[in-house]
A and B are shown apart, each in its own frame.
Chain A
């Protein structure tokens, strides 16, 4: 009993008080130093303020203050200030202890137009489980005892379902994988395509496969799957490699070192399409059956099925320029045109291609005499010397022959009939071509016309000269253009015949674009990393085994701090899981009407963030409309405080989402505040009551 009394007096004595103050001071210093070194409040709190020893110190203060007051028994009037102060202190401490044990602090995430009554507690861990067909998900806390202790069952026998924690990693990097999963590129409906590494850009890339996306009759695509750091350079290389009329279209799935996938499609005429799929920010995602059947991304790849005239002409221009630069040997008509252009300071490739394009537009086997030459082409034909003996005479006679034949051909007669009627001397070789012809076959008719033109040119040496009648300069240019067209026809040079691919008679400027729709599933992967010293930055990863009956599945889940990310299907889509903070319900439903950022006048800098809320007490049904902002909180009568924390986006581009911090101190109004008032009163009495005044 004596020792109990001694202990009682010690616990209420000054020395215990000094010890407690010293210990608290040490904890606070340690907390401050740790937080400044690690930049982590959580780290400091776990070792100091959140430590059970610190809580014991608070209890120590409570006992010390209580015992120091009760030691004054029996109480007298002169004890009133002392007791008042100590009583006030006890109330304040009591309020703090109640808040520590039963108070609430969490964040609420709201989207405009919607509401919530849940607050998510930071740095807590739970698994959200949603069963297919049920509207209310269930939450199961994941405690350190689950990964430190022997019992690893997070869910035990919930309608036969068991969730067992297999592994816990304190920090990881989370990524969404789309077209490339591990070492394979995956497209739904196709076999996985192995991914090759390419750190240096190679001379040539062989496709990893060929795929016909539209059935067995469709044109095959070369498919590449490559991992590299140099995405742009690789894409350029593949584009050049595929830019050839003989090449099939190419589809390249390129993964960079950060895990983002860049999909490219290359056409044989230089067309390029690309779309990027970032692993932490997918623009569009497809959820099947609300996520129970998984998630996917889709790429609409344009199909280069029909050539675009403009593109082809640019291609031709490029080839002619390259030929000119390399001083390539040109066919005689081209050589003549080039010579004339060079002599008169005109660009050969541009002018020649312009003439071919114009001739194709106006039509005709030979350039029609009634057409109007574009201004940029006139100079070359004004100076074109069509005077070489054989070619010149051949051109003249070809023009005359086709002029004579034109009325009958335009009337629908076949070219061979017309020639037979006119007793063409070289019908024999033409009739050989007739044997291969089908009636009405325009292409073959074109070939016969070409052969006819060549026959004239082959006999050029034997043909007499043609007298030119007097003509004006403009007529001379048109006439030369017509003669030159015959020269080109002899060498089968026409826009339709020299473009890279056989095309329809009517070339359209803009071909219709067909697309191929490719889809692949989206999965989440987590890579363990060394834990960060700033604990708030750590993203834990857990691996769970889900079991129901004979069906088992292992799934890894990264921590979703905001609890707004994807939920992942498990057990053939029977359940969805998400690893997230724990939430609790509060007795208020908060609805966000609208949120806004207020800027400084004439500035884009934020001055304040505001949210218009409707807060409904679920117990009474009473609603209050209020606006909270950065410097204005809303507080209910029972101690729930709502603080504005965050708004995104800050502009009006889309519906806004806000984070509101909710704090509940149950003892604030009946313990902490009254205790503080009483303590203040006690202090005033201490300095003003007569027994304590200096005599």
Chain B
């Protein structure tokens, strides 16, 4: 009897040791609408933001054709300190019209009054069908120690050209036009606060993606 129990438990243990990869669905994705006036803005992107971040969308009725206005902002507040993470997109009609990613990074560098070169980093990034640059800069803005974490992302030429093909409907064309836009994600805040939430911000940026799958040719 004892031997049977041991044998049965051994068999059970072997069976229960098989398993696959865990699912990752604890925090829901949040959708972000693209550019255009209020009536014509379509949900184009989605991102997973940590709990505790405050989301701020543009005011209702606001026309977002101006690319200096963010599509969406997330705010991290701790006491009186505030860090902002803004998402912009930059639509273009042709591949050649896209602004080089280095130009965006250079613009962010110029926003610093003084930039600490030792803590500055720029490196290549690619995820979710985008590739571009990641920028980290520390220095002084408006006299205060500030950190910027930024991502400048462009779809690969292959994806861009697929989304540039003429579609069956004008609605699809509008979506495709927004989908192929360049994207920037820029987080700015006091250096201490940013350092504390740096990992979270990086994880947040890397969950950024298009809602619709990018079409491919067979």
List residues of A whose CB falls within 8 A of some B CB.
111-116, 118, 128, 130, 136-137, 290, 591, 593-594, 612, 624-629, 632-635, 651-656, 677, 680, 684, 688
CA distance A485 to B97 in the complex (A): 55
From residue A159, how far is it (CB to closest CB) to chain B in Å? 19
B residues 96-145 touching A (CB-CB < 8 Å): 123-131
- Given A654-B131, A655-B130, check contact A113 B123 (CB 8 Å): no
Taking a contact as CB atoms under 8 Å apart, the answer to whether B209 and A113 are in contact is: yes
Taking a contact as CB atoms under 8 Å apart, the answer to whether B213 and A591 are in contact is: yes
- Given A113-B209, A594-B206, A684-B7, check contact A655 B159 (CB 8 Å): yes
Please tell me if B25 contacts chain A, counting CB pairs below 8 Å: yes
Taking a contact as CB atoms under 8 Å apart, the answer to whether A632 and B20 are in contact is: yes
List residues of B whose CB falls within 8 A of some A CB.
3-4, 7, 11, 15, 20-25, 123-131, 155-156, 158-159, 206, 209-210, 213-218
CA distance A633 to B218 in the complex (A): 26
Q: Which of A128, A628, A655, A656 interacts with B21 by CB under 8 Å?
A: A628
CA distance A361 to B159 in the complex (A): 53
Known: A652-B131, A655-B126, A655-B130. 6 other contacts (CB 8 A): A113-B155, A130-B218, A628-B21, A652-B123, A655-B129, A655-B158
Taking a contact as CB atoms under 8 Å apart, the answer to whether B126 and A112 are in contact is: yes
Which residues from chain A contact B123 at a C-beta distance below 8 Å?
A: 652
- Given A113-B130, A114-B216, check contact A627 B158 (CB 8 Å): no
CA distance A285 to B130 in the complex (A): 21
CA distance A654 to B206 in the complex (A): 15
- Given A593-B127, A651-B124, check contact A114 B25 (CB 8 Å): no
Least CB separation from B134: chain A residue: A652
From residue A136, how far is it (CB to closest CB) to chain B in Å? 8
From residue B99, how far is it (CB to closest CB) to chain A in Å? 18
Taking a contact as CB atoms under 8 Å apart, the answer to whether B4 and A653 are in contact is: no
12 example contacts (A-B, Cβ-Cβ < 8 A) are as follows A111-B158, A111-B216, A113-B209, A114-B214, A114-B215, A624-B23, A634-B21, A652-B131, A654-B126, A655-B156, A655-B158, A688-B3
Least CB separation from A616: chain B residue: B213
- Given A130-B218, A634-B20, check contact A115 B213 (CB 8 Å): yes
Taking a contact as CB atoms under 8 Å apart, the answer to whether A633 and B20 are in contact is: yes
- Given A591-B213, A634-B20, A654-B156, check contact A114 B218 (CB 8 Å): no
From residue B151, how far is it (CB to closest CB) to chain A in Å? 11
Which residues from chain A contact B127 at a C-beta distance below 8 Å?
A: 112, 593-594, 652
- Given A591-B213, A652-B124, check contact A627 B129 (CB 8 Å): no
Q: Which of A115, A624, A628, A655 interacts with B131 by CB under 8 Å?
A: A655
- Given A652-B123, A688-B4, check contact A113 B210 (CB 8 Å): yes
Taking a contact as CB atoms under 8 Å apart, the answer to whether A627 and B126 are in contact is: no
CA distance A656 to B130 in the complex (A): 10
